Chain A
Amino acid sequence: MRGPAVAIGLPFLLFCGLIAAGFLMPGWLRFITLIALAKGLVVLSLMLLMRAGLVSFGQGLYYGLGAYAAGLGVNLLKVTEALALLALGVAVAGAVAWVLGFLLTRYREIFFAMLSLAFSMILYGLLVKSSALGSTDGFNLPTPTFLGFAFAGTAARHALFVLTASVAFAAALLLHRYLGSTRGYLGEAIRENEIRVEYLGASVRGALHVKYVLSAALAGAGGALTAVATGHIDPDLAYWTTSGEFVFVAILSGTGSVAAPFLGSFVFEMIRTYAFAYSPNTWQMVVGATMLLVIIFMPGGLWSLFRRRPRLVTRS
């Protein structure tokens, strides 16, 4: 165990460095980092489920819900405060997950993956066909205010970056704490042996339900931040390829640390950006090939590069 000073100090330094870097970065890099952080929240939400042995092929459902909730918050409810929009995205995603959780926690493995995919496709089908929400084109939303301040131009983009980085940092820290707690470890326990968990006196479905709602809330936050950051939303946020991409980034990242999803997300956005810049017609091919290479050569994900090999025997 490292000392508490390192455990808290190092991430905090990293966070300060990230914020400072945000002010120094060129605009395009800041935007990519911003999107990577927002999407990193969705990947983090998948990691939470994966630690409990569940893989969702429909996390786009909550990503899309968070984004549309924030978008409608601006356009319909006339909410302009970024934090309020974020809260709205989280609340809507969490509430829907709470309802669906009663059904989904009965499923495991491929059935869980497919059923979550089905639900995300239902949302996609609804969004595509609702002309009030712009059908396939979606709609735009204006720059929000931050804690009451209306920034414009570069200032607004900086504010957005600070907000997103702060949310990502807070979420990662809270989740780290949670994963180290008894309830957090319950995820691994359920993945490893549900019968034993029940026979120790804990409810498997209850625990999974909580994790599912938490995961949706994180993905909803990611969606709301993406909506606010890009100023545009469309049904593709909920399409199955979006969900599939998140699963890939989660595998790319590995489940070793709460920092991994953000790192993985950043690496993925960079690969995508460069692939798109240098070969606009074959960027998917580059992404697909990367996917295959990572899976073949790095079974533990990117994070395994930073970690010593798991030890069988330690400290005598």
Chain B
Amino acid sequence: MLTLVAILVDGVIYSSWLFIVSAGLTLIFGVMKILNIAHGGLYALGAYTAVSAIGSYFAGGYPPLASYALLLLVAVVVGLVFGLLIERGVLRLMYGRDEIVIVLVTYGVFLIIEDAIKVIWGASPYYASQPYGLLGRVQISGLAFSVYDLGLIALASVTGALLWWGLNRTRNGKLLLAVIHDREISAAMGVDVRRVFTVTFVIGAMLGALGGAFTAPTTSVVPSIGVELIVLAFAVVVIGGLGSIEGAAIGALVVGISRASSVHLLPEAELFVIYGVMSLVLAFRPQGLFRRVVARKI
């Protein structure tokens, strides 16, 4: 029973973190048809920037609780600056090229970001656990959980809700959905697709950085966090169905719960389980769980 609670809570916490990152990845894929490996780099940039920001913030003796706002600010700034840089500086030159070639381009950008991080921050681990310890722990069925971790669930829920509201209830969001549904027709109807691309990429980048920024306090920040994250996020969006936000939520839950079960029951199989589940899902639902029915033009 205790194990079950632990699996569920740990799983949902892990899923929340995965969802925040994957939502950005799947949004970019849905709108731009780009599987963005550089997302891992944005995540790492978010984490490192957060570490530095938190470090100087607490050294300055400012009110500790406002550090959460600082994390948010970091995500917005990193996403804005690097999102614009990557989309305007690199991807814009590539539109129209083969999907796989663009994947490679984002891989190249990812490698560059990785080394840039090593040049700026070095290879040794960083810690910024102050915001993590601040909130203490609570008991759930006799198990202690960190309030910060539970806060991640709230953050993911708010992020998901905001995305849903933004896409379905605002004019710009509906334009975005129109582009996801049919890029050519949207362009013909007068939607400025390039502008939509830029905005989407920046929002996606912010989500990646947001995931990184809020992960920083919970772990040691090392250069490999980006590489490890991106393949996990791939698994999530592929399970959910590339380009679907609801799918990313479900995919994150599937991956999160499977991983938590494995960690508690069979630690050797941790990575194996995640990709095993992904292969199983693809074997039966090639388009992922949330299949968007695409009207094929013949």
Contacts and interface: CB of A to CB of B under 8 A. Distances in A.
B231 interface: yes
A296 B97 CA distance: 10
B238 A103 contact: no
A240 interface: yes
Contacts of A289: 108, 112
A267 interface: no
Given A240-B231, A281-B115, A129 B272 contact: yes
Interface in B164-201: none
Given A247-B100, A291-B107, A124 B242 contact: no
A283 to B, nearest CB: 8
A285 B117 CA distance: 10
Interface string A50-89: 0000010100000000000000000000000000000000
B28 interface: no
A288 interface: yes
Contact of B272 (A107, A114, A126, A285): A126
Interface string A247-291: 110010000000000000000000000000000011111011111
Given A125-B271, A291-B111, A111 B94 contact: no
Secondary structure type dominating chain B contacts: helix
A291 B104 contact: yes
A111 B231 CA distance: 14
B149 interface: no
Interface in B105-124: 105, 107-112, 114-116, 118-119
B136 interface: no
A118 B112 contact: no
Residue from the set B118, B269, B279 with the largest chain A CB neighbour count within 10 Å:
B279
A111 B104 CA distance: 15
Nearest to B271: A125
A130 B268 CA distance: 8
B238 A125 contact: no
B104 A107 contact: no
A119 B275 contact: yes
Contacts of A248: 104, 107-108
B111 A285 contact: yes
Given A121-B231, A125-B271, A126-B272, A110 B115 contact: no
Given A118-B235, A248-B104, A292-B105, A129 B269 contact: yes
Interface string B258-296: 000000000011111011101100110011000000000
A288 B110 contact: yes
Nearest to A245: B107
B107 A244 contact: yes
A289 B103 CA distance: 14
A117 B271 CA distance: 13
Contacts of A114: 35, 234, 238, 282
Given A110-B242, A122-B279, A291 B271 contact: no
Contacts of B112: 284-285, 288-289
A286 to B, nearest CB: 8
Contacts of A130: 268
A20 interface: no
Contact of B271 (A57, A109, A124): A124
B18 to A, nearest CB: 15
B93 interface: yes
Residue from the set B107, B119, B234 with the largest chain A CB neighbour count within 10 Å:
B107
A296 B102 CA distance: 11
Contacts of A296: 93-94
Nearest to A108: B286
B116 A285 contact: yes
Contact of A109 (B97, B99, B105, B278): B99
Contacts of A106: 286
Nearest to B90: A292
A288 B109 CA distance: 6
A241 interface: yes
B227 interface: yes
Given A284-B114, A292-B105, A118 B272 contact: no
B68 to A, nearest CB: 33
Residue from the set A117, A128, A292 with the largest chain B CB neighbour count within 10 Å:
A292
Contacts of B94: 295-296
Interface in B229-272: 231, 234-235, 238, 242, 268-272
Interface of B: 35, 37, 90, 93-94, 97, 99-101, 103-105, 107-112, 114-116, 118-119, 227, 231, 234-235, 238, 242, 268-272, 274-276, 278-279, 282-283, 286-287
The 8 closest A-B pairs by CB, nearest first: A125-B271, A288-B111, A291-B108, A285-B115, A125-B272, A288-B108, A288-B112, A284-B111
7 contacts: A55-B100, A110-B100, A114-B282, A248-B108, A284-B111, A285-B114, A288-B107
